[in-house]
Structure 1
Amino acid sequence: MSAPAAPATSVRAVSRRSGTAIAIFALLLLSYVLNAMDRQLFPLLVSDVREEHNFGLADAGLLSTVFTLGMGLAGIPTAFLMARLRRKTVVMIGIFVFSITTLLTALSAGFADMFIYRALSGLGEAMQLAALLAIATTYFTRRRAVAIGSINLSFAVGAAVSPVFGGALLAAFDWRMPLIVFGLLGIVAIALVAIFVRPWLTEAAPSTAEVSAEAAADGEPAGAGPELPARFLNRNTVLITIATVAGGLLIYGYLGMYPTYLQEELGFDVAQKSGVMSIFGLGAILSIVGGMLGDRFNARIVLPASFAIGIVLAVLLFTGPATFAFQAAFSFIWGAVISGTTYVNLAGYQVKAVRPELAEKASGLFIAALYIPAAFSGYLVGAAAGSMGWQRTGMVLIGGISAVGALAALFIRPAAMTR
């Protein structure tokens, strides 16, 4: 005897609830687009800030990437807040912090206060990201990968939009106006989250039944899979951490100083520089594809290959023709490979290298390893460019960092990781 069909009213109610959840999550993703726009904005302004304040190239590079220090150090305060406050509240606090510090950056008197505001902006950005990841993985239990991929996609959208919008403001006003406008947009986002986002989505926790259903859907009995190391710090986590440090230096060395290279070395105007960085963001939109590659192939294939491509790209970007078409094309590839593939899979493989009960600890290690060294990537690139020129910086420094990441990844043991 077949089971009775579910009442039509119940089906419609579930459908409405799902549609509402997607709409609310889309609003949260929109707020994260602003986060990404904020991250991409300051590198566009570096040359103008340098000219007004007479900062050295290395100091300007440090200001461009020091927000990642705030992101890397945000683990403890974020964990404290998320243990005591609603995730929705943490999202709003994060938006408030990076929006206010963006506004304050426009009012900076010199290097010291600008350094503080930039570092604190990263603290707010990390709070928002951590809360969004928790929301995505606890509400959308059957579609975790898609939900997390949509967060990465939102970052890529912000990375593509920010140079165009920010560049237009920079061309029409001075360097302070983009910071003021982006900061005020964050305040608007806080109001929208406060009004429309519902706690039943943000504070959801997966039930035991849901977790069991997911395990059954995977078709694997309990205990199936590789024998994972008992220790948190094992061969794979150490190697992936080394590769993550290299990845952070690459990603944020490029983001922090490449726009300055385009303007000061290649002579690009604001519109050309903004256009190239926007196209980089379009490349990063392929992060979902990069994640799929990581699920399909093991770490000893994906990571060495992506880092090796990074070596080639470093040489081409800093020694190739000074034309918009060339720089835009290879910046797109950089976005797809380094941001869209290397970054996504470093995060995923670090979690896959430990037992499930250590997953949160592995994510914390990834964030610290990526963002804390990245804070000094702009200073490193700027100092190198000032001493040996941009071309050698690309080949020796950026290419060398890529080589270190590739070499570390070659010794990963895929057999001791979950698929």
Structure 2
Amino acid sequence: MNDDANIRVLATLPSADSLPDTVLQETFVDPLGIESFWEHWYLQGFVDQGFGKVKLVVGKPGSGKTHLLYHFAARARMLGYVVASIDAYRDRISAIDELYRAVAGQVNWEELFRSALRIVIQEELGYPEFDGGPEEFLTWGETVRNLSGNLLRRDMREAIDRFLRAIDLESEFLLALRVRMNHILLEQPSDAAQQWLMGQKVGATVRKGIGLQESVTRRNARALLTSLAVWVHRLTRCGLVILIDNIDALASTTRVEGRPYYTRAARDQSYEMLRELLDESAFSPYLMTVWAGDGEAVANPRTGFSSYPALWARLQTEVQSDRPNLFADLVDLDKLWAEDAAHLDDLVSRWRAVPLTEPLARGMDSSHTTLGLEWGRPRRLVADVLGERLAAERDER
């Protein structure tokens, strides 16, 4: 299949990021049980117990990488994890501060702050009966409990400080949390501290006015990311899951409009960041990161993982085997499907049963032909099933 045909088929066949949530759920099949394995071995009893993990998923286009990430994100959220999903075709991630900003920009900070203040009020101050919003607490204390407003404000500031100091947080991250929590409690409109936590630019005068000395930079972003995961765990008893799709963008040598382009230096910097995340995962509590991308691209000796020896050496396993190792840091989805004929049959059954909506029908070219081996087995099977169904529907007319 030539490049033009490749592009045409990619544009017409349904991809996971274009499917409704109901179709994503109905058509998901877990190849060789990899998602269940991650959930059992990592999300339940490992990451939530203070450990970190990094996984890399590769495969041919259409092997189900994006579908796996979308479904795994839903599972992690159901368990209580905070999840950030990043698309390397859209978000530039050539350095750790860019990764932190991409993650922090997706966090529901207001929800986390309200959860934190609820814990402070009910546990630190000892008012478990209070079930209102944090901004209502002062009024409640004065009217229902006949407490002095000034004393209550002082007690609340001290309780917030005790609560935060009991968590192992980077000092400026802790300070920004404390400032924002006090502002919410006192219904003060300033959100400079929250902007700083999200990695946004805050003027030096404003920043120093609330006690913050530095902006988010490469020097402190790793500590801030770790602090975010630790803080999330304190509030949820779970942790933080980061899912990064289309990492083959790092290895691309072609400039595509709307996508980040990585020079050799930027690419090496990204690979070094990934190597450090792998090496330091044991010291990144409550954090799981999954990177996924096209296997051929990331294996490219000139621009892929193997072009950066320190990362490539880190990904090699001492014991070589043709059978997939679900514990390995690098997982090849094509190999998982090759070992799981039963789930491939299940995949076909699910796509035969899913309602053939107009968007799905519109997405299939009327001159559909079987895809070549350069495509993942799942994509080829789905294309055949949809092609047959559309042909049968046309014949019925």
- Same fold per TM (> 0.5)? no
In terms of fraction of residues, the more helix-rich structure is: 1
Larger radius of gyration: 2
In terms of fraction of residues, the more strand-rich structure is: 2
Higher relative contact order (CA 8 A, sep 6+): 2
Q: When the two structures are superposed, what TM-score results if normalisation uses the length of structure 2?
A: 0.27
